Amino acid sequence: MQLRLSLALAAASVVPTALAATYSLSDNHVGSDFLSSFVHEAIADPTHGRVNYVDQATAVRLNLTFAQGNTLVLRADSSSVLSPSGPGRNSVRIRSQKTYTTHVAVFDIVHMPEGCGTWPAAWETAEDNWPNFGEVDIVSVGVNNISPNAMTLHTSANCNMPASRDQTGSPTSNVCDVNASGNVGCGVQSTTPNSFGPSFNGNGGGFYAMERTNDFVKVWFWQRNDGSVPSDLRSGAGSVNTDAWGRPNAFFPNTDCDIGSHFGPNNVIINLTFCGDWAGIPSIFNGAGCPGDCATFVNQNPGAFANAFWQFNAVRIYT
């Protein structure tokens, strides 16, 4: 009896840690599933881009959204010359119907939008409670150039990151508060090759994953052909164990930021805009080797957007 009790106690004390990093598949978004589990947001671009976000019926009709079999493609129009006084280039922005608190999100991406003026992002936030419920940018343009990828938190006040952390990426700022430094957020640049843009696409893409707990946020990236891609993640298994995934590209611990209180229920958002508050800054646009003025370029060069598309094998959410 006594032995049993102590065994039970021992087991009980082991179980929480053993389970801490194990998550079960909750939402497996593949192909046509995206048409019911995400909404197309036909909204004015909050970042003032040269874009016209269309609704789902329009996106499907124009084949800007193609969701069939094992494929989701989200693309921008690449055939129309635009009038400078009319709406911007047709594109799509989708947002998950569901919200998530602690969870793991896996993005199996074949291709991300590339080209002058494109500003793609895969991220999580609560649009109506920003910044109080936080923002996690998982795939987004880097700070000084088009590549590499930058993984960034944007939060309400009193959220800072330690300069030295157990991560492979390079921090660019350690202050997450949106009111600091014009909302650059606390960003970490990936140092893994082929994490963004043309080199990502040329390599068959890869896997981004984000784990959010009340104690930390972690973001990983693996190139598709990397031998160290975790097998549970690659296969879309029914459960994943993030403890076995190794060192993340970006690690945002709770040492000087109460992650639990700075983040609320968030939607997953995938967007593709042009120019705007970031990519449209002349020094950024021209600095990336792009000619003239961003909005004029977008208006006059539809063919330059032939590769401005996302292609996903899956977005999987584990809870």
Residue closer to ligand NAG, measured from CB, 131 or 230? 131
Structure tokens, 145: 């150039």
Q: Tell the smallest beta-carbon distance from residue 47 to ligand NAG (Å).
A: 4
Q: What element of type H or E holds 279?
A: helix 276-279
Binding mask 10-49 for ligand NAG (x = CB under 6 A): -----------------------------------xxx-x
Residue 98 CB partners (closer than 8 Å, separation 6+): 27, 37, 267, 317
β-bridge mates for residue 71, sequence order = 68
Residue 246, judged by CB atoms within 10 A of its CB (0-12, 13-18, 19+), counts as exposed
C-alpha span between 144 and 172 (Å, rounded): 10
Using the rule CB under 6 A, which residue among 194, 223, 271, 299 binds ligand NAG? 271
Q: Please tell me whether residue 99 binds ligand NAG under the rule CB under 6 A.
A: no
**Residue 261 contacts residue 80 (beta carbons within 8 Å):** no
For the CB of residue 95, give the shortest distance to ligand NAG in the complex, in Å: 10
Tell the smallest beta-carbon distance from residue 319 to ligand NAG (Å): 23
Q: Is residue 121 within the footprint of ligand NAG (CB under 6 A)? A: yes
Q: Which is nearer to ligand NAG, 143 or 237 (CB)?
A: 143
Interface with ligand NAG in residues 148-207 (CB under 6 A): 178-179
Q: Which of residues 42-71 bind ligand NAG (CB under 6 A)?
A: 45-47, 49, 63, 66
Rounded least distance, CB 203 to ligand NAG, Å: 19
- CA angle 34/39/41 to nearest 5° reads 135
